[in-house]
């Protein structure tokens, strides 16, 4: 079993608190992504897991074994860095073979000329060579083995770095933004390859990125990290449609979620952006709420009224399968963005007045502290009340 437990990890650099008590349990064979903006502490956490950095407090276990104080080499993890960290003076083959040579050959067997008189060198060396050739072929870089990193494209270098990690047969793969140096098209392709790699190897992956599309497409679970804390850990779809926190809702999703500031008028009803919205959640009158509305939660409506925003069309973006309409709403600082189906909204023109409806169950509510207010289960409440009266 190679599950991972991070328990209350803290880390500061000087007076900067980078990790503020991070706890995370990762299942054997799971693909978990740390997602968060630049500087939130993702790489620091990954480096602590790899043993390249030491936490101030808290503990790390890999496969039920505490690895605190265990050297990186002995943790059975392989890390792929954003920079790929390839040795420029070595060929691709030599770069890939390095971890195997260090592990399988003795210091004597690695000496330049003397090694050939030490028994076993030839046999182990040819085993390593075979393994490198096989792995390189599988990654589509078999023809590049005699080149140096400087003679490779970004995508090819990335494959070499992955190959060097694979040949170690680690129980855990750690990847720190491995695709960030690639162009958009290659990134999508390599994303699919990494997902396939995970499926084939069946080992645990911990992946770091600030790219939400990568996190959402690759992961079994996404751990959203902000300011050195994990805010929510959940499957991608849940992170998107059922966020625990306003900051998660804002960080995930493109276009960004629409947020309207409102005040509860009476139980089950809130005023925001000049409109009254019915709520499925009880909040006391006078309470400040933010209403989160995903762009696809809107539908075109014939007229204004409750649960409907009315405004002038500012901008229309045709994206092929989708149409993004930016609507200027009186009383709302930012335009509201709605995603509509082109066939349902064929004649929308700039400047036109539009009504956008949203059903109460599509509203995501956040309290003044940004915590999510979930819908009350009113049916259950009613049943309880009826029982009380009976």
Nearer to Mg ion, 121 or 212 (CB): 212
Q: Which tokens sit at 93?
A: 């083959």
Nearer to Mg ion, 141 or 230 (CB): 230
Query: Are the CB atoms for 143 and 154 separated by under 8 Å?
Result: no
- 44 interface partner picked from ligand ATP, Mg ion, none, CB below 5 to 8 A per type: ligand ATP
Q: Which residues in the 198-217 window bind ligand ATP by CB under 6 A?
A: 210
**CB of 245 vs Mg ion, minimal distance in Å:** 22
Nearer to ligand ATP, 205 or 277 (CB): 205
**CB of 108 vs Mg ion, minimal distance in Å:** 39
Close Cβ partners of 386 (under 8 Å, ≥ 6 residues apart):
none
Nearer to Mg ion, 129 or 211 (CB): 211
Nearest to 163 by CA among 135, 131, 187: 135
- 51 interface partner picked from ligand ATP, Mg ion, none, CB below 5 to 8 A per type: none
Residues present in the chain in total: 390
The Cα–Cα gap between 388 and 168 comes to 64
The Cα–Cα gap between 277 and 270 comes to 5
Nearer to ligand ATP, 93 or 225 (CB): 225
Distances 350 to 189, 328, 358 between C-alpha atoms, Å:
37, 11, 22
- 40 interface partner picked from ligand ATP, Mg ion, none, CB below 5 to 8 A per type: ligand ATP
Q: Which residues in the 38-97 window bind ligand ATP by CB under 6 A?
A: 38-44
Query: Are the CB atoms for 264 and 287 separated by under 8 Å?
Result: yes
Quote the distance between the C-alpha of residue 166 and its chain's center. Answer: 22
Nearer to Mg ion, 132 or 206 (CB): 206
**CB of 39 vs Mg ion, minimal distance in Å:** 8
How far the first Cα of the chain sits from its last, in Å, is 53
Token pair 């399968």 is found at: 321
43 contacts Mg ion (rule: CB under 5 A): yes
**CB of 180 vs ligand ATP, minimal distance in Å:** 9
Query: What is the radius of gyration, based on Cα positions, of the chain?
Result: 27
Judged by CB under 5 A, the stretch of 42-50, 214-222, 314-322, 333-341 that binds Mg ion is: 42-50
Judged by CB under 6 A, the stretch of 35-43, 64-72, 264-272, 352-360 that binds ligand ATP is: 35-43
221 contacts ligand ATP (rule: CB under 6 A): no
Nearer to ligand ATP, 33 or 275 (CB): 33
Judged by CB under 5 A, the stretch of 41-49, 52-60, 90-98, 102-110 that binds Mg ion is: 41-49
Nearer to Mg ion, 131 or 211 (CB): 211
Quote the distance between the C-alpha of residue 303 and its chain's center. Answer: 40
Count of residues interacting with Mg ion (CB under 5 A): 1
Distances 181 to 83, 155, 158 between C-alpha atoms, Å:
8, 8, 9
Nearer to ligand ATP, 36 or 51 (CB): 36
Query: Which single residue brings its beta carbon nearest to Mg ion?
Result: 43
**CB of 311 vs ligand ATP, minimal distance in Å:** 36
- 108 interface partner picked from Mg ion, ligand ATP, none, CB below 5 to 8 A per type: none
13 contacts ligand ATP (rule: CB under 6 A): yes
For ligand ATP, the binding residues (CB under 6 A) are: 13, 16, 18, 36, 38-44, 210
For Mg ion, the binding residues (CB under 5 A) are: 43
């Amino acid at each position: 079993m190679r599950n991972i437990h991070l328990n209350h990890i803290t880390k500061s650099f000087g007076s900067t608190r980078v990790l503020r008590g991070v706890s995370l349990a990762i299942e054997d064979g799971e693909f978990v992504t740390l997602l968060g903006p630049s500087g939130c502490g993702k790489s620091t956490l990954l480096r602590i897991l790899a043993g390249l950095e030491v936490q101030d407090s808290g503990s790390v276990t890999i496969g039920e074994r505490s690895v605190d104080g265990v050297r990186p080499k002995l943790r059975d993890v392989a890390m792929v860095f954003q920079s790929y960290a390839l040795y420029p003076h070595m060929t691709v083959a030599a770069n890939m073979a390095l971890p195997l040579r260090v592990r399988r050959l003795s210091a004597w067997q690695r000496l330049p000329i003397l090694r050939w008189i030490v028994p076993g060198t030839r046999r182990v060396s040819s085993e390593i060579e075979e393994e490198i050739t096989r792995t390189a072929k599988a990654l589509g870089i078999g023809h590049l083995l005699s080149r140096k990193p400087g003679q490779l494209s970004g995508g090819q270098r990335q494959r070499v770095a992955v190959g060097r990690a694979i040949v170690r047969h680690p129980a855990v793969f750690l990847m720190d933004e491995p695709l960030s140096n690639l162009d958009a098209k290659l990134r999508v392709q390599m994303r699919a390859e990494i997902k396939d790699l995970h499926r084939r190897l069946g080992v645990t992956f911990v992946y770091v990125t600030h790219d939400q599309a990568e996190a959402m497409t690759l992961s079994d679970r996404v751990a959203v990290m902000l300011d050195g804390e994990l805010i929510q850990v959940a499957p991608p779809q849940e992170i998107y449609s059922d966020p625990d926190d306003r900051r998660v809702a804002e960080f995930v999703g493109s276009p960004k979620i629409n947020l309207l500031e409102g005040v509860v008028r009476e139980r089950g009803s809130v005023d925001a952006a000049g409109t009254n919205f019915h709520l499925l959640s009880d909040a006391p009158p006078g309470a400040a709420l933010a209403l989160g509305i995903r762009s696809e939660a809107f539908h075109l409506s014939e007229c204004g009224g409750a649960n409907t925003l009315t405004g002038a069309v500012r901008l229309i973006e045709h994206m092929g399968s989708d149409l993004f309409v930016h609507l200027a709403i009186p009383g709302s600082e930012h335009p509201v963005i709605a995603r509509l189906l082109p066939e349902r909204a064929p004649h929308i023109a700039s400047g036109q007045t539009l009504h956008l409806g949203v059903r109460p169950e599509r509203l995501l509510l956040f309290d003044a502290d940004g915590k999510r207010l979930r819908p009350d289960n009113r049916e259950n409440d009613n049943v309880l009340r009826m029982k009380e009266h009976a």
